[in-house]
């Protein structure tokens, strides 16, 4: 089953290396596709525990930061420890693996490619999704988690808020923070959000973006127009930023097929994409 959303990770020519690393350390993982441009790997698709990722060899323009991390819920303590050890081998510890009020075992790590992961011991079946994107509202978006959750779940027709935990009165000082932890779904895909409890020197950027896979042009038009409304910004090649600064890619659901099939066709499709802002399915299929 193809999920409507997937995650794009921007790499400085390390997408294939990253895909191989991630699929070697997660239990249920596989590389799903690869697209080439001018004879070189442009994107590498991979699935980790049911969550679909796309690694993009975009160059040095954007660098990932912890504003968007990936929350991994793991039932088995030994499995969590093994995964942690592999991440920290060439990574950076953000919060030590330890016992916290919310978990018997939890840690936050930035891997060797700059992507952030939160590993938490918990009930995988109750979580419903082993890996979920976590949006941390900080920097210029400090304190906006609550508004963003309501916006996103209104944009997606089957969006719903599962739970929101708020900071208690007096718990946070001298910073705008309301949401401790929230879980919400966008057409069945689980997302999480929080307000940072301390000031952070970073914000959302294009290094991590959310892909919306659309079945027809009406869907592309709807998500493009709605997400850029009221302060969002259009970009190129199907990319946009919403009013909270989060980057999205609004693409046809069959784009990977167009990009990974006949090499000459994929080159023509890529050339057409490079000339577009909002993507037009008919023009891509006819390229």
Read off the pLDDT of residues 218-246 as tens digits, 9 standing for 90 and up.
999 999 999 999 999 999 999 999 999 99
Count other C-beta atoms under 10 Å from residue 85's C-beta: 11
18 in any annotated domain:
no
12 in any annotated domain:
no
102 in any annotated domain:
yes
Report if pTM > 0.85. Answer: yes
224 in any annotated domain:
no
Those residues whose C-beta lies under 8 Å from the C-beta of residue 97, and which sit 6 or more positions away, are: 81, 84, 105, 106, 107, 119
213 in any annotated domain:
no
212 in any annotated domain:
no
Please write the tens of the pLDDT for every residue from 70-117.
999 999 999 999 999 999 999 999 999 999 999 999 999 999 999 999
Task: Please give the residue range of the domain that contains residue 121.
Answer: 68-195
**Count of domains in the chain?**
1
143 in any annotated domain:
yes
Q: How far apart are CA 182 and CA 192, in angstroms?
A: 5
Q: Select from 134, 80, 139, 136 the least CA-distant residue to 104.
A: 80
| CB 7, CB 208: distance < 8 Å | yes
211 in any annotated domain:
no
Predicted pLDDT of residue 2? 55
Stretches in the chain below the pLDDT threshold 70: 1-3
- Domain of 178, CATH number, reads 3.30.720.110
Predicted pLDDT of residue 41? 87
Count other C-beta atoms under 10 Å from residue 88's C-beta: 17
């Amino acid at each position: 089953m193809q999920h409507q959303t997937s995650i794009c990770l921007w790499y400085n020519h390390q997408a294939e290396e990253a895909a191989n690393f991630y699929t070697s350390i997660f239990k249920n993982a596989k590389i799903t596709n690869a697209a080439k441009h001018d004879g070189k790997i442009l994107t590498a698709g991979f699935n980790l525990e049911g969550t679909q990722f796309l690694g993009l060899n975009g160059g040095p323009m954007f660098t990932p930061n912890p504003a968007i991390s990936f929350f991994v819920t793991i039932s088995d303590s030994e499995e969590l420890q093994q995964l942690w050890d592999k991440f920290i081998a060439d990574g950076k510890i953000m919060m030590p693996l330890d016992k916290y009020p919310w978990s018997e075992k939890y840690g936050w790590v930035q891997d060797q490619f700059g992507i952030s992961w939160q590993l938490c011991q918990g009930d995988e079946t109750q979580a419903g999704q082993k890996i979920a994107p976590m949006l941390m509202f900080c920097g210029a978006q400090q304190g906006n988690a609550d508004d963003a959750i309501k916006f996103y779940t209104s944009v997606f027709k089957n969006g719903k808020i599962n739970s929101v935990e708020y900071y208690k009165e007096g718990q946070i000082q001298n910073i705008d923070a309301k949401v401790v932890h929230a879980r919400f779904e966008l057409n069945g895909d689980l997302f999480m959000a929080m307000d940072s409890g301390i000031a952070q020197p970073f914000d959302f950027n294009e290094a991590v973006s959310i892909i919306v896979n659309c079945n027809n042009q009406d869907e592309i038009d709807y998500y493009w127009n709605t997400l850029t409304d009221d302060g969002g910004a259009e970009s190129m090649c199907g990319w946009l930023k919403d009013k909270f600064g989060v980057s999205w890619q609004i693409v046809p659901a069959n784009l990977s097929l167009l990009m990974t099939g006949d090499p000459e066709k994929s080159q023509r499709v890529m050339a057409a994409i490079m000339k577009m802002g909002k993507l037009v399915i008919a023009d891509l299929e006819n390229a």
